[in-house]
Structure 1
Amino acid sequence: MTTTTELRVATDGLTKRYGGRAAVDGVSLTVRAGEVYGFLGPNGAGKTTTLRMLVGLVRPTAGTATVLGRDPGDPSACARIGVLIEGPGFYPYLSGRDNLRVLCRYRGLSDAAAESALERVGLRARAHDRFRGYSLGMKQRLGVAAAMLGDPDLLILDEPTNGLDPAGVAEMRSLITDLAADGHTVLLSSHMLDEVQDTCDRVGVIVAGSLVAESTVSELRGGTTIVVRATPYPRALAVARDVAGANRVAATDTGIRVDADAGVAPRLVRALVGAGIEVFDVHSSERSLEEAFFDMTRGSDSTGDDPEVSR
């Protein structure tokens, strides 16, 4: 069981209403120390509003939240948190390096902290350029660099790969993985499901303001499915049901689907061949995070449910 001291973020019934409309409705989630937690949901589902409540930028209508054991916005907790929510805001006429140096002086950090952050996000070569000339991806990198200043215990990142090209996305994924390996906790929202699948330990899925699932990526994707193509089909179907159980076998257009782990496959093939059945193909199939996400959000239309933002 996870203890309170192992939690970096915990919410209980967290709710934000605007008039009669709930942008966030009774969200209860937990982010554990040292993990990468992916916060997923369609546009307007309430992701950004939830993150804003966690850092004290929005006051909840109901429910509670603790961040690093403190109330959202508590100065002692804020000093240990790095935040990038929505688009990063910097002085347009200053260079990327000077923008970070301003933040370092504000926080009592040396200029070396700015150089280290620039290096980690791959901006050293363009650090002398003015911020107003940065591409969207470069601005996002600088925003992540600013969040990393002071080596925070917890990073809260809203769409950190927004605007990055494929190489930049891969670099950001590697950076987030390295941060977690170094003991940092990362809470990130994202719409790039393949990146979340490769990066996150656990995920929470929010739809129309409500948390509809919270689990590990593997649990959310579900178990392994074995697909068999064999003839004669009726006899093969009967053998599969004998081996795996009738409730775990289904006839589909692409073959016989067996909801079981890959260890069942050798026994199934031996039984089919032993029964004189010709086996053409046996392969395992695992549902992607994207498929699981669309299954959970199918039919929802949450765009516009969040009056503040569209994410």
Structure 2
Amino acid sequence: MSHTPPPQDAVQVTDLTVRRGKRTVLHGLSTRIPRGSITGLLGPSGCGKTTLLRSIVGTQLVQSGTVTVLGEPAGSAGLRRRVGYVTQAPSIYADISVRENVAYYAALYGRERTDTEDALTAVGLRDHADQLGDQLSGGQRTRASLACALVGKPELLVLDEPTVGLDPVLRVELWKQFHDLAAAGTTLLVSSHVMDEADHCDTLLLMREGELLAQLSPDELRADTGEQNLENAFLTLITRGARA
């Protein structure tokens, strides 16, 4: 009996258009996100990054186009245990401990108690595991939300600006964790408006005003623009597009 191999791409987006009221937020956007890699979604605030992420996890109404995730239409019931999503606003309960928050999500995903401890260790919160959600700093709340997503061991992990407000040391630690996850086969899609994080990614999706300017690696972006600094390289792409 032959088995159909899984699609090479974790995500396929084709001609995606999203409108809010009279405003078009995404303009016929198409892209593919390869499995087992870290894809960075970069662009200025308000360019449509969160709308694209919400479309991929199935929480966004779309005007037209298709989004396929792990071989299924985005938002399908079968994807609930296969896709993890960490929003910009920390999604933890304030009146229970960090450990109880993570254990709750572990139970939803049918994971073991050891998975809860592993997730807490991965985000560096073992020493704060007994603190209530409302006793945490902003950075700790972000890490707790990440632990709640990691405990489900998703095949695709979607992270909306996960390092905002974190100190530089913790940002380095989180990116190391992201690389470890990708090496183990998890696909990560990470949005940011900080271009110095682009070097951590295998592939970059560069957005501006609801459109995809380019999809390429950091080194390809440097070669294409002649700029070593990635922020300057991105600005060069924007200027070139404006002239065109």
Q: Normalised by the size of structure 1, how large is the TM-score? A: 0.73
**1:45-64 correspondence runs (5 A):** 45-64=47-66
Quote the residue 2:215 is aligned against. 214
Amino acid paired to 1:217: P
The answer to whether the 8 Å contact 2:17/2:28 transfers is: yes
What is the CA-CA distance between 1:169 and the residue it aligns to? 0.5
Partner of 1:170: 172
Q: Would you say the 8 A contact 2:38–2:203 is kept in 1?
A: yes
Equivalent position of 1:12 in the other structure: 14
Amino acid at match of 1:37: T
1:158 Cα shift?
0.6
| Identity score, percent | 38
Q: Which has the higher contact order (CA 8 A, sep 6+)?
A: 2
When structure 1 is superposed on structure 2, of 166-175 and 75-84 the one drifting more is: 75-84
Which residue in the other structure is 1:202 paired with? 203
Following superposition, which runs of at least 4 residues in structure 1 exceed 3 angstroms of deviation? Answer: 297-300
1:52 touches 1:85 (CA, 8 Å); kept in 2?
A: no
**Structure 2 Cα separation of the partners of residues 32 and 148 of structure 1:** 20
Contact kept? 2:42, 2:205, Cα under 8 Å: yes
Separation in 2, partners of 1:107, 1:180: 20
**1:148 equivalent in structure 2:** 150
Larger radius of gyration: 1
1:90 equivalenced with 2:87 (yes/no):
no
Within 2, Cα distance between the matches of 1:108 and 1:182? 20
Partner of 2:113: 111
Letter in 2 for 1:203: L
Q: CA deviation at 1:192?
A: 2.1
TM-score (norm 2): 0.92
**Given that residues 92 and 132 in structure 1 are in contact (C-alpha distance below 8 angstroms), is that contact kept between their aligned partners in structure 2?**
yes
Aligned length: 237
Q: How do residues 265-280 of structure 1 correspond to structure 2 at under 5 angstroms?
A: none
Question: Which residue of 2 is the match for residue 304 of structure 1?
Answer: none
Distance 1:221 1:26 in 2: 27
Query: Displacement, 1:223?
Result: 5.8
Q: CA deviation at 1:297?
A: 3.6
Query: Bigger CA drift: 207-216 or 73-82?
Result: 73-82
Equivalent residue, structure 2, for 1:235 = none
Long gaps (5+) in structure 1: 226-285, 301-311
Work out whether residues 105 and 152 of structure 2, in 8 Å CA contact, stay in contact via their aligned partners in 1. Answer: no
Please tell me whether the aligned partners of residues 15 and 62 of structure 1 are also in contact (alpha carbons under 8 angstroms): yes
Alignment partner of 1:291 is 2:244: no
Partner in structure 1 of residue 69 of structure 2 = 67
